[in-house]
Amino acid sequence: MAYSDKVREHYKKTIAEIREGGLFKEERFIHSPQDAEIKVEFPEGAELTKVINMFSNNYLGLSSHPDVVKAAHDGLDARGYGMSSVRFICGTQDIHRELQNKISKFLGTEDTVLFPSCMDANAGVFEAVLGEEDIIISDRLVHASLIDGIRLCKAQYDSFKHMNMGHLEKKLQLHQDKRIRLVVTDGVFSMDGDLAPLDEMVALCEKYDAMILVDDSHASGFIGKTGRGVHEHFGVVGKIDIITTTLGKALGGASGGCVSGRAELVEMCKQRARPYLFSNTMPPVIVAAASKVIDIVSETTERRDKLEANTKYFREKMTEAGFDIRPGETPIVPVMLYNAKLAQDMATDLYAEGIYVIGFFFPVVPQGQARIRTQLSAAHEREHLDKTIAAFKKVGEKYGILGLKKKEIIEKFGL
Ligand SMILES: *Cc1c(COP(=O)(O)O)cnc(C)c1O
């Protein structure tokens, strides 16, 4: 069909509807490397503003770390820029194997296969290991990429209420007649910062003869005593059949993902996962830098410990200041505001104070649970946090919400 006026009008109208719904996503152009402080052009064409970044997945501050940048340069020199091939044709170098082995050692798994992204890992893994006779039972709030991967696979599907172990047990009982049961969860749920109770989930999987897959994208590198992930936090290292995770967040933040776990399951991904078979290999420059990142997090917990201290400090001070902070221990710290407009207005005011955050509201989070989600980083120094807390206090005072409980905020602003 030609791109007729009628077709063009259709898309224009749809885009206008997205705008009217308050759901239009605008890019903010950053004119500096990713770090605790960034220079932002927003709105487009505006003067550059230097702001404290409270909103990135750069949890360990490794995205622009000099050792990682140097490793990238060295990798570029040693192995070139592109591979112009998928992995199994002529796109696998020695450094891909080396990185896979390092990741397996770090996560405490049997084997690992790299993908261009974790989205691709999730898109490929289910179809590679399950068939029509099998069932996937997932938490209802799993990441969009898991949902897509589940859709692409022929296995049957069921779900359990978010982190509700009683409900999961019922579903496991219900599906005892299936050939293979696979329970699926995020390790850390990124909107609330909740940790999936992997100890209980593993026990249920053992009791009802099920496998478990955990997407640890918001955990790998910093959750658990030595940063291995949520499985370390709950003492179930070696018991997770499949871990998928990203190299695009704490672990250097460039791109790439993996499936890591039981050797046969990883092998099945190499044989069958379509993004592995039909999408280009991870470029050497990123592989080399990611390898350095895994060395850093394997050798020392220094950055992970600093992140933990930053998280504790920020959570304490923000709670003291009178904000309604969703309790927890992850560096994802949602400041609950419930009302969508309040979340948007406060984010705008905070930006004017030099703090980069964004308001989240329906449909990104459930109706009536609008918030400003902050994320801590090991790149933050005390002064960044203090400045952020002071700005939050100033803006919180302006809207008269300091010290207010959920009910009072809703009474004052509505939902
Ligand atoms: C970010 C994220 C992904 C996607 O990772 P990419 O490597 O950027 O594709 C997948 N799953 C979860 C839970 C994530 O948070």
310-347 pLDDT, tens digit per residue, is 999 999 999 999 999 989 999 999 999 999 999 999 99
Any catalytic annotation for residue 380? no
Instruction: Please name the amino acid found at residue 15.
Output: I
Question: Which of 252, 250, 291 is closest to 75 using CA atoms?
Answer: 291
Question: Which of 231, 274, 249 is closest to 122 using CA atoms?
Answer: 274
338 DSSP β-pair partners: 370
Residue 25: the pLDDT is 86
End-to-end CA distance of the chain: 44
Among 190, 217, 260, 279, which one carries the catalytic annotation?
A: 190
Residues 304 and 229: their CA atoms lie apart, in Å, by: 11
CB 279 within 8 A of CB 86: yes
Q: What predicted TM-score, i.e. pTM, was given to this entire model?
A: 0.97
Ligand 1: centre distance to CA 251 (Å): 12
**Rg for the chain (alpha carbons), in Å?**
22
Among 249, 292, 306, 317, which one carries the catalytic annotation?
A: 249
Enumerate residues lining ligand 1, CB below 6 A: 117-119, 122, 143, 145, 186, 190, 215, 217-218, 246, 248, 257
| Cα distances (Å, whole numbers) of residue 39 to 96, 249, 358, 379, 391 | 34, 20, 16, 16, 18
- Model confidence at 149: pLDDT above 90: yes
Any catalytic annotation for residue 218? yes
**Mean pLDDT of the chain, nearest integer:** 97
- pLDDT tens profile 349-373: 999 999 999 999 988 888 899 999 9
Which domains are delineated in the chain?
A: 26-55+302-413 (3.90.1150.10), 66-299 (3.40.640.10)
Residue 1: the pLDDT is 67
- pLDDT tens profile 213-268: 999 999 999 999 999 999 999 999 999 999 999 999 999 999 999 999 999 999 99
Contact residues for 4 (Cβ-Cβ < 8 A; gap 6+): none
Ligand 1: centre distance to CA 249 (Å): 8
Question: Which of 350, 364, 367, 391 is closest to 40 using CA atoms?
Answer: 350
